[in-house]
Amino acid sequence: MSYRLRPWVSWGLAASFLLAVVSGLLASYPFHEAFPLISTVGIETVLPFGSFLRAFHFYTGQLTFLLLVWHLVEALLNHAERRRPLWRWSLLVSTFPLVTLALFTGYIVRGDQTGLAAGQIAEHLALRLPLIGLVLNRLLFAVAEEGVHRAFMAHIYLSVGVLVISGLWHFRLRAVRLEDLAVWATLAAAVSLVLPVSLEAPSFETLIKGPWFFLGIQELLRHLPPWLAGLVFPSIPVLSLVFFRLAPRGLALVLVLWTGTYVILTALGALR
């Protein structure tokens, strides 16, 4: 018997993503990429309901990422990969690294200590990758040369890319239900009111930590060369998802083992 996708996960994902895009557009109005931290503080202090808007953007972004992971697991249980040609399934899988990078560049853009750490580590990592490193760094980071400019552009282009891929071949924008938008907006608004998002002042600590979902990669970078920790290891779940139809049982085991390893690495990174 085939697993049926839970509508609240699928529509929650579409709703959170659209809410992240809309709140991002509102937050970018007073945002000046030459002064990222001052702009972010400005959003909080000058813009009416600014700290609410920032927290709303932050939480709808986190929700998008978490619901996408859940949605992917459900899609595999539903054997969704068997009903689509490989190119179309691969495009859908590509939204996972694209959303992760959109989330990651969001942290860089806010320009506080976590953002600076994220930008520096990502740039060093990209520059040490063979062949694609230079291009990747110019496309996504280049923080040493251009501050948060590239990351901000990438943040927007990645979001538009996800919108195009998922909107054209997956959810129909017309079909997004207003009641789902309202429920998820209310949930994100309630969390944003209760839990404002902190900003950390830049510090001179020797141990710098990036965003929570990057701690596992950061931990691995302490033990393995950058091309293994930063390229091969994160590519494993993406390639396993793309080629899942070839060996569902074996690749499901790979995904479970990879996730378990990543949870342990993240815990080790967080405890440092």
Residues that bind ligand HEM (CB under 6 A): 17, 20-21, 24-25, 27-28, 31, 40, 43, 54, 57-58, 61, 64-65, 99, 102-103, 106-107, 109-110, 155-156, 159, 197
Q: By C-beta, is 25 or 86 nearer to ligand HEM?
A: 25
Considering the complex, what minimum distance in angstroms separates the CB of residue 30 from ligand HEM?
Answer: 9
CA proximity to 165, closest of 90, 215, 92, 247: 92
Q: By C-beta, is 115 or 269 nearer to ligand HEM?
A: 115
Considering the complex, what minimum distance in angstroms separates the CB of residue 95 from ligand HEM?
Answer: 10
Question: What DSSP assignment string belongs to 158-186?
Answer: HHHHHHHHHHHHTS-GGG--HHHHHHHHH
Considering the complex, what minimum distance in angstroms separates the CB of residue 89 from ligand HEM?
Answer: 21
Q: By C-beta, is 41 or 251 nearer to ligand HEM?
A: 41
Considering the complex, what minimum distance in angstroms separates the CB of residue 10 from ligand HEM?
Answer: 16
Q: By C-beta, is 26 or 252 nearer to ligand HEM?
A: 26
Amino acid at 172: R
CB atoms within 10 A of CB 205: 9
Considering the complex, what minimum distance in angstroms separates the CB of residue 146 from ligand HEM?
Answer: 16
Report residue 128 as tokens: 């040490």
Q: CA of 6: how far to CAs of 13, 56, 71, 74, 159, in Å?
A: 11, 24, 9, 8, 24
Cα dihedral sign, 81-84-90-93:
negative
